[in-house]
Structure 1
Amino acid sequence: MQIKRNVLLNPGPATTTDSVKLAQVVTDICPREKEFGDLMEYCATEITKFVGDPKDYVTVLFGGSGTATVEAILSSVVPENGRILIIDNGAYGKRMCQITKIYKLDTVVFESSSIEPIDLKALEEVIKGEKGLTHLAMIHHETTTGLLNDIAAVGKLCATYKISFIVDSMSGFAAIPVDMKAMNIDYLAASSNKNIQGMAGIGFAICNKKALLATESIPMRNLYLNLYA
């Protein structure tokens, strides 16, 4: 069976192959049955293996866009007395800032060029100067310009200053190698429709299990998008 294909030249979703399209033609599976749960668990485990050991990291799946997953992380993991620094060097960094503003999270914005590497010395000075930072969030690969950010270097800074590290890797995941443990990443967001080249509609957050379990006491700011739940 040959399926007509349009070659998509947008940043994502990606053009899908016939094999991906036809893999969906299966007997209906009830989402309340064990078979569905087993399938979800298998997918979550295999996704985790791209970037970390499933003993230490776990993938949480959402029916929603990549932005829904980023919103889930930001709204779920920053405590009421927390403070987050966001690196804004493109459209998706700005979107993170929009999300934290809506949730009224105490946010420090580090503005950087959308085409030049992040000034790590300047970033460290801001981290040292801003008291009470608990989290840092940034984009891995800024889709709008193609800028690849040095998440390993920023991860080292987060380790030094004991800050929880959040990375949006929508257009980096499964194309650019990531080791969450080595890069000190606690939460990584990605989706089904970029480098995995699956169908759009599934976002996922890959989480450090210890960090995720520690968020249990944070009051829920929403229902469906709560990461711990």
Structure 2
Amino acid sequence: MLLLTPGPVQTHPSVRAAMDEDIAPWDAEFRPFYTSLRERLRDIAGGVEGVHATLPLQGSGHMILEAAIRTYVAPGATILVPMNGEYAVRIARLAREAGRVVVELPAEDTHAITPGAVAAALDAHPEATHLAMVQSETGSGIVNDPAVIGAVVRAAGRRMIVDAVSAFGALPMDLAAQPEMDAVVFTSNKCLESVPGFAFAVARMDRTEECAGQAGSWSLDLSDVLAQARRSGWGSLRFTGPVQTLRALEVALDRLDAEGGPAQRLTRYRANAARLYAGLCALGLRPYLNQAEQGPVVVTFHQPDGMDFHGFVGALKARGVNISAYYTTEAPTFRVGAIGDVGLAEMDRAVAAIAETLAAMGKLPAAA
């Protein structure tokens, strides 16, 4: 089966094989391995030793994102959220349910957030202490640039949290150049090409310590994760987690290094997305984004009129291609991931399977 969702992604057999081991996370041999893994993730984020730390949390991207909001945004404080996709909607909900005040910056899910819009919103809302933004919006496929938006946030004297869940490991991130960023959060199972299980924040240690005690949750308090590392060492865990997945992540990071790092991985993903975009357009399908806005992680297309979406997904899976079984855009769409242990041959296979499936359903526009 070819897995082409925005995550979890297709993984290399060596990554999956690394989990075939029973591990005691409290064992002395585990500690140097875990310490090294945290340092490697910090370095990918452009973090600085002694300034930034990797703060792991077992679970999904939603959990680490909520932990970052709870940790760095004070209860009752205001957070600005640019609303150009479903995952921004989720940031807003997480913040509200954590007792933070949300100011929404309206935006279309077909265009990246502009620095001018953010500057105007921050000027209009001096009470907003933070901006929280999605870097790669997998509802549609657009990319927001944290460096460009961060410069505006920094100039305004505010703080920033970036959801890089579907971006980290490919799209650029340089924490050393962005002192306004409290944390970038991500998971192991997207552009890092590993399996689900752990999520991570790479965060400023000074800010994390300043914010101790305001999360309102022991499990989701990143300041407590840092305090545990200070007390017991960087190779220690607070609670038992799916540690076999960390072995898989180690192999995935080795593969990232062998590929040439995030820049080279991004080149492959961009080529994958371009091949999908061109191939599906050639079938007569209508892209959700114009080519200038199309990101490298997921390609989204309008559904043909009257198409049975779930029937399409099921029939495509029967042909060996598994895509997202839901969509989050207002218009009916379908989306195909361009990330994971895949290349141009897999993109061509996906386009051919989509063409066969739509033709069998009588919904192939080029055949009309």
Matched, 1:142 2:131: no
Shift of 1:81: 4.9
Deviations 1:8-47 (A, max 9, x none): 1211101111110111123x22222232333222111111
CA distance in 2 between partners of 1:220 and 1:104 (Å) = 10
Q: Which residue of 2 aligns with 1:96?
A: 91
Aligned to 2:190: 194
- The structural deviation recorded for 1:164 is 1.0
Cα distance in 2 for residues equivalent to 1:197 and 1:119: 30
Equivalent residue for 2:27?
Answer: 33
Q: Give the TM-score of the pair, scaled to structure 2.
A: 0.58
Under a length normalisation based on structure 1, what TM-score does the superposition of the two structures give?
A: 0.92
Which range moves more in the overlay, 175-184 or 83-92? 175-184
Distance 1:176 1:67 in 2: 20
Look up the SS of the partner of 2:95 in the other structure.
helix
Q: Report if the CA contact (8 A) 2:135-2:143 is conserved.
A: yes
Letter in 2 for 1:41: T
Deviations 1:132-168 (A, max 9, x none): 2211100001111110112111101111111111000
Q: Percent identity?
A: 27
Q: Which moved more, 1:116-125 or 1:148-157?
A: 116-125
For 1:103, give the aligned amino acid: A
Moved over 3 A (4+): none
Q: What does the per-residue CA deviation read over 1:80-106, in whole Å, with 9 as the maximum and x for residues that have no partner?
A: 352211111101100000101111201
Q: Which amino acid aligns with 1:29?
A: I
Alignment of 1:115-130 (within 5 A): 115-130=110-125
For residues 76-95 of structure 1, the aligned pairs below 5 Å read 76-95=71-90
Q: 1:64 aligns with which of 50, 53, 59?
A: 59
Q: Is the 8 A contact 1:186 1:207 kept in 2?
A: yes
Partners of 1:8 and 1:95 in 2: how far apart?
24
- 1:209 alignment partner in structure 2: 205
CA contact (8 A) 2:42 2:48 kept: yes
CA distance in 2, matches of 1:211, 1:127: 21
Return the offset for 1:207: 0.2
**In structure 2, how many angstroms separate the alpha carbons of the residues matched to 1:125 and 1:71?**
26
**Distance (whole Å) between structure 2 residues aligned to residue 220 and residue 172 of structure 1:** 26
Matched residues in 2 for 1:219 and 1:126: separation? Answer: 26
Amino acid at match of 1:200: P
Q: How many residues align?
A: 222
1:186 to partner: Cα distance: 2.0
Match of 1:3 in 2: none
2:153 corresponds to: 158
Answer whether contact 1:166 1:186 (CA < 8 A) is retained: yes
Q: Does 1:108 align with 2:91?
A: no
CA distance in 1, matches of 2:178, 2:55: 20
Aligned to 2:172: 177
The answer to whether the Cα contact below 8 Å between 1:180 and 1:186 also exists between their aligned partners in 2 is no
- 2:9 equivalent in structure 1: 14
Contact 2:119 2:153 in 1 (8 A): no
Which runs of 5 or more structure 1 residues have no equivalent in the other structure? 1-5
SS in 2 for 1:46: helix
Larger helix percent: 2
AA in 2 matched with 1:149: N
Distance 1:219 1:211, change over 3 A: closer
Conserved 8 A contact 1:29-1:35: no
SS in 2 for 1:207: strand
CA distance in 2, matches of 1:117, 1:29: 43
Question: Which of these two proteins has the greater Rg computed from alpha carbons?
Answer: 2
Partners of 1:226 and 1:53 lie apart in 2 by: 22
The question of whether the paired residues in 2 share the 8 Å contact of 1:140 and 1:167 is answered with yes
Distance in 1, Cα, partners of 2:214 & 2:174: 30
